[in-house]
Amino acid sequence: MRVCVGMSGGVDSSVAAYLLKQQGYDVIGLTFRGWPQDCRSIEEDKCCGPQAVADARMVAHSLDIPHYVIDEIDTFRREVMDYFAAEYKRGRTPNPCVICNEKVKFGSLLRKARALGAEAIATGHYARITEGRNGGRYELRKSCDPKKDQTYFLFSLNQEQLARSMFPLGDMTKEETRAVAKEIGLKTYGKEESQEVCFVPENDYRRFLRESANVVDAKGEIVRRDGKVLGQHNGIHNFTIGQREGLNLGGLPRPLYVIELEAATNRVVVGGAEELLRDEFEVSNCVWHTEPVPSMEVTVKPRHQHPGCRALVERGSNGSARVRLPEPQRAITPGQAAVFYQDDLVVGGGWIC
């Protein structure tokens, strides 16, 4: 069986390719190039940058497998970079990694793999896929390494994508992956991971919006919820829910935080820490991996770094749902993904609106 491995030049995808070859698969390495030549935010060492391409090619050579670079510049700009900028302009906080997985890594690359005669695509994500007993649906499950689990970023994959995907590292820890890489002599075994958005240098998204997405600052008011004006800002795209720094509101008796962004009025609404707490919220564009039921008890992660909390999800119409929280949570942020779990099973997720 031929499998195309999405190779980023990092240790995870390198070991994934090695393991599949050891298991007897006909392995081809694919690296996508998503960097426009005129992109001023390009960095050498990011997952689809020039150094990543060189590292992936080197690993493929050492494993004696074919390697192809796939030009996905137009798709990456349209589906990921433009989405990223548009969300900030709407007063929302985007999650580009989820979109990139759905639209590019498991969208465009899967189509390229089929053109090469492959039946599946594999990546170095820490997650697992099992074929469920209930109607044969494919189930997305957490990795065996809770510290590295990446199912949050994969929740929006559809059944066809799950059926054609493989995660060779799902039953391994990061330490075990590095040990395999070192044992077989891969030069990338000690390569550090980037925790930043790949196309945003030094994690300075404001600079990216200004220089590469042509987002222009637009002055507006900073107000309390009752409408009292406290100051001025240079654009709602410079803020996110829960933010305290950068408000420049001196002389106030207590700290204030961003609690809402009003795109229609170009206002930043601020309040005390207690005003950041929410006991319910709505999500849209939901993806479900289980049979439909009116409501279910789940563990929800309203952002990637959140440890998860109890919730009741009530499914609505047109892909919407309402999430009720027995214990209020801080800084529920529009634009972020909310992913629902039952034990290690991803039952679905949606976008906080």
2: left (phi over 0), alpha (psi -120 to 50) or beta: beta
- 198: annotated active-site residue: yes
- In sign, the C-alpha dihedral spanning 197, 201, 204, 210 is negative
Considering the candidates 4, 47, 48, 198, report the single residue annotated as catalytic.
198
- 97: annotated active-site residue: no
In the Cβ-directed half-sphere of 295, how many Cα atoms lie within 13 Å? 8
- Report the C-alpha gap between 278 and 312 in whole angstroms: 14
* Beta-sheet strands, E only, within 146-211: 165-166
In the Cβ-directed half-sphere of 175, how many Cα atoms lie within 13 Å? 4
Considering the candidates 39, 97, 100, 286, report the single residue annotated as catalytic.
100
Look at residues 273, 282, 285, 339 and name the one whose alpha carbon lies nearest to residue 307.
339
Contact between 141 and 129 under an 8 Å Cβ cutoff? The reply is: yes
The residues that are catalytic are: 100, 198
